[in-house]
Amino acid sequence: MRFRPPRIRAALYRVGRGLLARDTRDDQLQLLTTLALTPLYVMPLILFTLGAGLTPLLLLGLPLLPLSMKLANWIARLDRQRLFLLRDLDIDMPIAVSGNGWKERLERLFGRRAWRELGFTVVMSFWGLGVGGLMVSLLAAGLLLALLPLLGPLLPDGSSLLGMDVGSLAVAVSGGAVGLGLLAAGLWLGGPLARTESTLVARMLGANRVDHLVRRMTDLEDSRSRMVDAAELERQRIERDLHDGAQQRLLSVAMSLGRAKTRFDRDPDKARELMLAAHEEAKAAMQELRDVTRGLHPAILTEQGIEPALATIAARCPVSIDLSARMQERPSPRAEAVAYYVVSELLTNITKHAAADRATVRVFREEQLLRLTVTDDGIGGVDPARGSGIRGLRDRIRAVDGHLTFSSPAGGPTVVDVTLPWKA
């Protein structure tokens, strides 16, 4: 029979395991580094206050003002790096002013971002003193009381704590219990305080809504220019394919029908051969037209949705495709079109370049996202810098606020993961 510990013992085991977990240690380390950096947080405020106070006196404190701003900027960069190392938190930085003119330099030194960083050091100095002092007090007092049963016999007779005899067994045991409680409270409290500090740093140092909008506008301008270039290249390809293929076949059809027309009366057999040849050319021209228009927007995608359309692509692909598409309802037409194009392009690239025997395509809904994953067992080594394929796909996906990530180590496998808004 399996041994089941009592509820109290199991609860204590879970509490102890939680208090000694890695996340708890990271929380304590973050708060301890905050306390250690508190003197550094205070320095920009002290320098700025001295500079502002001494500047009216023959401008003696004027050099301290830019020095305080530069120090606040350096501390902000240090804090971003600290949270990245301790919490794996990558804070999106505000947009920096570019240029080397005196106006740009003055903006970088005393602009909105510089004042935010100075205010950040002020807030963090109070935060470090308050929170750091609280944590150190709790842990130090808890450790001292927890060790009281061991230290009590070693202390001189008559030693007291809050008017109570430390040598007393009851006082020592109760003090040890209170100490363990304070230690547990200090370790548990580190989690909420560390998360609050991370949120505070991200809000004060991270990019605001204006920065995000400016970055979004810049990305859209860049992707739009690349999309225009890609659309022009696609138009030229279609024009070339039509001119070299279907147009030549249709010209041959017209010539064959013209020759057959002149031979109807004097050579019916020859006219029949010419008409049969024209019929075959017409069928070949239709097939070439289908090949040209197949990648644009197939009718099956509009009429039946993404699942039958992807099944058609998988059936045509020379590589063995394992397709899974699980959706109870259809996403927006734009999301379907982008997903169809992405899967079509990825399978084409796999066929041409990956030397793969098998590929897997997964399409499913994840909350308000349409997610698709394409994996192949090819040679890998995909590098966006050596071709425009991945960059073109990323531009098309980002145009609808989607996101593309891929992994392609040398030797494979290559995994491409794409998320699109369900109502793009």
292 — pLDDT class (breaks 50, 70, 90): low
Q: To 10 degrees, what angle do helices 333-349 and 389-398 make?
A: 170
pLDDT digits (tens, 9 = 90+) for 58-105: 677 788 888 888 898 899 888 888 888 887 776 766 666 666 777 777
CB-CB contact of 138 with 186 (8 Å): yes
Average pLDDT rounded to a whole number, residues 236-242: 68
What is the rounded distance in angstroms from the CA atom of residue 79 to the CA atom of residue 127?
Answer: 14
The encoded tokens of residue 297 equal 């927007």
- Please state, in angstroms and as integers, the Cα–Cα distance from residue 81 to each residue in 17, 78, 122, following that order: 29, 5, 19
Q: How confident is the model at residue 263 (pLDDT cuts 50, 70, 90)?
A: confident
Q: Which residue has the higher pLDDT, 409 or 8?
A: 409
Q: What is the 3-state secondary structure (H, E, C) of 133-148?
A: HHHHHHHHHHHHHHCH
Q: Which fold has domain 301-421?
A: Heat Shock Protein 90 (3.30.565)
Q: Cβ(309)–Cβ(298) under 8 Å?
A: yes
**pLDDT at 254 (0 to 100):** 80
Among 20-24, 114-118, 290-294, 411-415, the least confident range: 20-24
pLDDT tens digits for 324-344?
Answer: 887 888 888 888 888 888 888
Percent of residues, the chain, with pLDDT higher than 90 = 4
What is the reported pLDDT for 23?
A: 64
pLDDT band at 243 (very low <50, low <70, confident <90, very high): low
Write down the pLDDT at residue 11.
46
Taking only the tens place, the pLDDT of each residue in 128-181 is 888 877 877 787 777 777 776 665 555 555 455 544 455 555 556 666 677 777
Q: pTM for the full model? A: 0.49
Q: What is the pLDDT of residues 379-417, one digit of tens each?
A: 888 776 666 567 778 878 887 888 888 888 888 788 999
Q: What does the pLDDT average to over 27-51?
A: 85
Distance CA 20, CA 98 (A): 47
Residue 170 is predicted with a pLDDT of 59
Query: Which pair of tokens denotes residue 174?
Result: 């109760």
Angle between helices 247-263 and 268-293 (to 10 degrees): 160
99-134 residue pLDDT tens: 677 777 777 777 788 888 888 888 888 888 888 778
- Surface-to-core class of residue 40, CB atoms within 10 Å of its CB (0-12 exposed, 13-18 middle, 19+ buried): middle
Beta pairing class for 164-165 and 160-161: antiparallel
